[in-house]
Amino acid sequence: MILFRIALQTFGLALGQIWSNKVRSLLTTLGVIIGVASVVAVIAALQGLKTTVLDEFEKLGANRVYIDGQLPRSMWATGSWRDVQLKLHEIETIRERCPSITSITPELWRSYPTEYGDRKLDSVPTVGIWPTWHDIVGRQIIQGRPFIPIDESDRRFVCIINDKAIEELDLPREPVGEYLRIAGKRFLIVGVVETVTLNLFGGGDSSAEVFVPFGTAQVLAPRAWISHAWGSLSSPEHVDDAKAEIAFVLRKMRELTAEDEDTFQIEVIQQFIDQFNAMAKGITAGASGIVGISLLVGGIGIMNIMLVSVSERTREIGLRKAIGARPGVILVQFLVESVTLCLAGGAIGLAAGQGLISLIRSIPESPLKDASVPAWAVILAVGFSASTGVIFGMFPAIKAARLDPIEALRHD
């Protein structure tokens, strides 16, 4: 209890000393205020950006594998893009011989004139897919049904549309059972799929989409090549296995030698997520290092002002020592004053950082709309402030504690 009262009294003395020199104290803590505000704002902004980007990746599906043809630079003069595009038998072989891939679907993208009644759109993206597409991309059917194997095997003229197509073609709110004319052919609408808007940095596209069975898409465009393929991993831990299996199959089927470059590309969404997380950590570390310079400058300013304070209060220190104050008490008094000064600056910096983040979040369509100050950032800011006070207040406190009382009392 006695120790608590002494600590409270010491803290009160420190606050009184700071308050008696308000302008000087504010200017002294300016470096700490800027440093803490910067730390809080940078961390909150990165957290918000990370949340936004990872949410968009989640829409794509973390376990998805993207496979496409790729023309190496060495073949630019001799090869063509058609030569390296995926073939249907290659995708079927990947499905059969790659155990790390649970399902796969080709995609054949084209745009066709699409009509419903008197309403006509000149160019609507139309994608040929296998029934496995639904499980791979994770987009929900909100009306009707997904494609089933017989739709593919019989090359039925059926389609699935998104809700944007309902709006743009003036379809009924429940369009299942209605007919569209796509490239002059009559298609039955069997389902409606949810629209996914990708918005990584404020942009995005959510226009009308039409999906048809892959075999039917080949009927509409017999000479069209496969745009790309999507597969799903059996487990996120099997990323490297899946890439190795797919590469082995495609290199063997394309008769590539050890010296030949790959004529395909394999990308896994999870790898982009991991890369982004690593990049975010690097940016945080780099920004923290830069911000640390502000704290260093602020700490030097605090040490300077504490040395001035010791010089100004030399007679007071001498008097206190003369009536029995121990050096340890003098040291603690000045150290507490230094730490209190830094914590006050840290509190102002914390409020300033929070205000800056609130301002950024209020910007319409801001990619940092999810920015928030995590609890650990607050603890970090307080820890930085206290540490700065201890480190840079120690030397003035030791100097005050070591003053000779007789010499101090003679000081003018």
Please give the single-letter amino acid code of residue 226.
Answer: I
Rounded (10°) angle between helices 314-322 and 269-312: 70
Domain end residue (candidates: 209, 232, 255): 232
Tell me 237's DSSP state: G
Least confident of 138-147, 262-271, 396-405: 396-405
Whole-angstrom CA distances from 140 to 124, 148, 301, 352, 397 are: 21, 15, 60, 43, 67
Instruction: Name the burial class of residue 407, with classes exposed (0-12), middle (13-18) and buried (19+) by CB atoms within 10 angstroms of its CB.
Output: exposed
Domain end residue (candidates: 197, 232, 267): 232
Q: How far apart are CA 103 and CA 94, in angstroms?
A: 9
Q: Report which listed range, 64-68, 147-151, 347-351, is most confident.
A: 147-151
Q: How far apart are CA 227 and CA 105, in angstroms?
A: 11
Q: How far is CA 113 from the centre of its chain?
A: 38
Please give the single-letter amino acid code of residue 74.
Answer: S
Indicate if 195 and 109 belong to the same structural domain.
yes
Indicate if 23 and 116 belong to the same structural domain.
no
Question: What pLDDT, on the 0 to 100 scale, is given for residue 110?
Answer: 93
Question: What pLDDT, on the 0 to 100 scale, is given for residue 362?
Answer: 78
What would the mean pLDDT of 374-385 be, rounded to a whole number?
73
Structural domain contains residue 10 = yes
Which carries the bigger pLDDT value, residue 255 or residue 372?
A: 255
Indicate if 297 and 370 belong to the same structural domain.
yes
Indicate if 203 and 317 belong to the same structural domain.
no
Indicate if 53 and 108 belong to the same structural domain.
no
Question: What pLDDT, on the 0 to 100 scale, is given for residue 3?
Answer: 44
Structural domain contains residue 182 = yes
Indicate if 370 and 306 belong to the same structural domain.
yes
pLDDT in tens, 311-329: 666 666 666 666 666 766 6
The total of structural domains in the chain comes to 2
Question: What pLDDT, on the 0 to 100 scale, is given for residue 97?
Answer: 93
Residue 201 reports pLDDT greater than 60: no
Range of the domain at 202: 104-232
